């Protein structure tokens, strides 16, 4: 029987690429989404995956969503916390809701989903949790105190949970993508995008499939000795020490 993988925000952009890669790796994929029914249904039909709609920032919704997935497919073996939003503003102009929304969706969601699956993984003695952070969680970004804080928080969350879970056969790791060719990045003004690309040593944006390949490795049996790690996939734009 194939293992079950849950990918949050798994029907568009990087999340869709992750869902597709894990499906090719032999996982049964449950892709979470929150808003766009048409896109989610199109993704499900195109890839042959299961989609489940719930708000990852809502604790009770996550408990119910995980139960629905497990009732339909079975216990979750791999969790990829990929869902995220931006609400950019300079701090002196940032509203409370802009802060709260990003922290809730980009950081609190990892707690909500990880807690919902961790006991099942501990009982089985096997599990993979992969948290999708960002280059801006490592280096910071002007106009993104909320986003940078949430994504940096994912790194600390992953390290602590990795220590708690290692002896139970569960690995917890973080991937920090750089600027990737997705719908979100394509909305950046052309001149700004040109400046971003010029700062990337490999001379281009990343591909969603390249981030998904990192997830595939960390979700595999071959990555059993990798836990608490932070993988920077940013074309050399930021090289942490």
CATH code of residue 42: 3.40.50.720
Q: Is residue 240 part of a domain?
A: no
The stretch 115-124 carries a mean pLDDT of 98
* Structural domain includes residue 195: yes
Question: In the predicted model, is pLDDT for residue 34 greater than 80?
Answer: yes
pLDDT of residue 184: 75
Number of domains in the chain: 1
Of the candidates 97, 20, 24, 30, which has an alpha carbon nearest to the alpha carbon of residue 57? 97
Options 33, 59, 147, 179, the catalytic residue: 147
Classify residue 50: in a domain, yes or no.
Answer: yes
User: Is residue 147 among the annotated active site residues?
Assistant: yes
| SS3 per-residue string spanning the chain | CCCEEEECCCCCHHHHHHHHHHHHCCCEEEEEECCCHHHHHHHHHHHCCEEEECCCCCHHHHHHHHHHHHHHCCCCCEEEECCCCCCCECHHHCCHHHHHHHHHHHHHHHHHHHHHHHHHHHHHCCEEEEEECCHHHHHCCCCEHHHHHHHHHHHHHHHHHHHHHHHHCEEEEEEEECCECCHHHHCCCHHHHHHHHHCCCCCCCECHHHHHHHHHHHCCHHHCCCCCCEEEECCCCCCCC
> Would residue 138 count as lying in a domain?
yes
Note the pLDDT of residue 1: 79
Place of tokens 């939003």: 85
241 found inside a domain: no
Q: What is the CA radius of gyration of the chain?
A: 17
Whether 185 shows a pLDDT value over 90: the answer reads no
Residue 238: inside a domain:
no
User: Is 160 domain-assigned?
Assistant: yes
How would residue 16 be classed by pLDDT, with cut points 50, 70 and 90? very high
The CA distances from residue 210 to 13, 55, 145, 179, 234, in Å, are: 12, 27, 27, 12, 10
Domain span holding position 41: 4-233
Does 73 fall in a domain? yes
């Amino acid at each position: 029987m194939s293992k079950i993988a849950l990918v949050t925000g798994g029907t568009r952009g990087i999340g869709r690429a992750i869902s597709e890669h894990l499906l090719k790796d032999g996982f049964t994929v449950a892709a979470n989404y929150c808003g766009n029914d048409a896109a989610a249904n199109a993704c499900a039909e195109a890839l042959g995956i299961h989609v489940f709609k719930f708000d990852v920032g809502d604790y009770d919704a996550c408990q119910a969503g995980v139960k629905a997935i497990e009732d339909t497919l079975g216990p979750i073996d791999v969790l990829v916390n990929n869902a995220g939003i931006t609400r950019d503003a300079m701090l002196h102009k940032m509203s409370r809701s802009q802060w709260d929304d990003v922290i809730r969706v980009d950081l609190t969601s990892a707690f909500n989903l990880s807690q919902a699956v961790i006991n099942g993984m501990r009982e089985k003695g096997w599990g993979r949790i992969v948290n999708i952070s960002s280059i801006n969680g490592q280096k910071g970004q002007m106009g993104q105190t909320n986003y940078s804080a949430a994504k940096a928080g994912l790194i600390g969350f992953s390290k602590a949970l990795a220590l708690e879970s290692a002896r139970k056969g569960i690995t917890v790791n973080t991937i920090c993508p750089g600027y990737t060719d997705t719908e979100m990045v394509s909305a950046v003004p052309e001149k700004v995008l040109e400046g971003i690309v010029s700062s990337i040593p490999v001379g281009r944006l990343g591909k969603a499939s390249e981030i998904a390949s990192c997830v595939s490795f960390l979700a595999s049996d071959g990555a059993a000795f990798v836990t608490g790690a932070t993988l920077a996939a940013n074309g050399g734009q930021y090289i942490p020490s």
